[in-house]
Amino acid sequence: MPKTRIILDTDPGADDALAILLMLASPEIQLEAITTVHGNVTIDKTTRNALALLEFLDAKNIPAAQGCSLPLVKPPHQPKGEMVHGSSGMGRANLPEPTLKPIETHAVDHLIERFLAEPKELTLFAIGPLTNVALAIRKEPKFAQAVKELVIMGGAIRSGGNVTPLAEFNISEDPHAAHIVFNSGIPITLIPLDATYKCLLTSADIERLNKIDSPIARFVRDVTADYMAFYLKYEGFAGCALHDPLTAATVIAPELLSIEQHYVNVDISGGVSTGKTYADFMKAAKKPANMKVALDVKGREFVDMFLRRVTTFAKQHT
């Protein structure tokens, strides 16, 4: 079975780190490059974290390109991200300062170069705000048709939001970028909160994982510590949602996802519902579906799969 060749646009971020770990632990996936974007923390920190993760996870051969530091239009609201992911963006994990450097090329240009060099061969995963992806679409008219598939962690369809009552963080952090991406014609699969909130990694899972004496197991414990504390304080649950890692299920376990095709767009009107993603279930707009949407998932099965693969990877990296 040929591997799915992936370029990952990310704002590490605790769950971004777990997504990168799961991708590297999955033989079905070939992670070819990382592009960083503002989001959970500032771009200097998301880029530093991406480089530190590549070194820590024995993936120094994968290039990383630094991307946009601000949303297209609205000002960023950092404090939210740091509350969940810690001031470094890596929770309580202390990864060594990376020796790796980002490549010279800006993330937007790197995305354009890579996808135009091999049209319809590469899959783009976007698990942070969509600023880099939107600018690649606007800067190079051929970019959209060169992307084989775009898998996005983002949005809240029937679910409430996690950064406003209505909007999910990645979309809310740059709703104008999301609007460009959603209306670009790229084949999109959206993994919204409706599914990701059903994939809860518990403190009991973390304890089980740490029966292995491995720096990877300890990293998973440490990087999720602030995340879990946040959920316990604000949502009354000792665990954390595997938002970003669930995107990998589109490749490694599609049977766990309940996918529907819908016309989905995002509110950019500037009012209280700005950043809200909505699916036109009643086909009121009379527009064709523009994406596949995961509206449900077998959450516990996905979390168990995540733990099995991370355990295997941890045993190989003691």
With respect to ligand RIB, which residue has the nearer C-beta, 134 or 146? 134
With respect to Ca ion, which residue has the nearer C-beta, 37 or 122? 37
Residue among 4, 6, 9, 16 that touches ligand RIB (CB under 6 A)? 16
Residues 166 and 158: their CA atoms lie apart, in Å, by: 9
Residue among 56, 125, 169, 302 that touches ligand RIB (CB under 6 A)? 169
Write out the E strands in 26-104: 29-36, 64-66
Instruction: Give 299's contacts (C-beta < 8 A, 6+ positions apart).
Output: 195, 198, 199, 200
Residue among 37, 62, 127, 240 that touches Ca ion (CB under 5 A)? 127
Residues 11 and 53: their CA atoms lie apart, in Å, by: 12
With respect to ligand RIB, which residue has the nearer C-beta, 176 or 214? 176
Residues 174 and 96: their CA atoms lie apart, in Å, by: 31
Q: Does 170 bind ligand RIB (CB under 6 A)?
A: yes
With respect to ligand RIB, which residue has the nearer C-beta, 4 or 162? 162
Query: Nearest 10 degrees: CA dihedral of 95, 101, 102, 104?
Result: 170
Write out the E strands in the chain: 4-10, 29-36, 64-66, 123-126, 149-153, 188-191, 200-202, 239-241, 257-262, 264-266, 277-279, 291-297
Residue among 24, 25, 37, 39 that touches ligand RIB (CB under 6 A)? 39
CB 190 within 8 A of CB 174: no
Q: Quick one: which segment of 121-129, 172-180, 185-193, 234-242 binds Ca ion (CB under 5 A)?
A: 121-129
With respect to ligand RIB, which residue has the nearer C-beta, 16 or 109? 16
Query: Nearest 10 degrees: CA dihedral of 159, 164, 167, 173?
Result: -150
Q: Quick one: which segment of 24-32, 101-109, 174-182, 243-251 binds Ca ion (CB under 5 A)?
A: 243-251
With respect to ligand RIB, which residue has the nearer C-beta, 115 or 197? 197
Give CA separation, 204 vs 25, 183, 221, in Å: 21, 42, 11
Distance of CA 161 to the CA centre of its chain: 16
Q: Quick one: which segment of 9-17, 42-50, 66-74, 221-229 binds ligand RIB (CB under 6 A)?
A: 9-17
Q: Does 13 bind ligand RIB (CB under 6 A)?
A: yes
Residue among 7, 8, 9, 13 that touches Ca ion (CB under 5 A)? 13
Residue 169: contacted member of Ca ion, ligand RIB, none (CB under 5 to 8 Å, by partner type): ligand RIB
- Least CB distance from residue 285 to Ca ion, whole Å? 29
Q: Quick one: which segment of 70-78, 88-96, 182-190, 236-244 binds Ca ion (CB under 5 A)?
A: 236-244
| Residues annotated as catalytic (active site), given as ranges | 243
Residue among 67, 128, 175, 299 that touches Ca ion (CB under 5 A)? 128
CB 62 within 8 A of CB 102: no
Residue 9: contacted member of ligand RIB, Ca ion, none (CB under 5 to 8 Å, by partner type): none
Binding site for Ca ion (CB under 5 A): 11, 13, 16, 127-128, 244
